Amino acid sequence: MRFEADLQGKSVKNYLLQDWLEDALKSVEDTTEEEKKALADLFKNNSVWLLLDAADKMSSLQSLTEISQQLTG
């Protein structure tokens, strides 16, 4: 799947917390608020690297710019 398509209009933050985290923890029925907070804390402490494979092939430069702005605040 393409990251741009996966976002489906969501912010990177919402995608990571609502979709990606749930997929990453499939063995858990629901992602808890504690797990979401733990992921947020990792981002706040610069302990996460987000690899955007094929970002250079995204169909819209605007989408890439929006993602960049969301990641840098």
Residue 6's nearest CA partner among 69, 72, 71, 58 is: 58
pLDDT-derived band at 1, boundaries 50, 70, 90: very low
Residue with the bigger pLDDT between 5 and 23: it is: 23
Its pTM stands at 0.49
Distance of CA 53 to the CA centre of its chain: 13
pLDDT tens readout for residues 10-68: 888 888 888 887 787 776 667 788 888 898 898 889 888 877 777 777 777 777 788 77
Question: What's 70's DSSP letter?
Answer: H
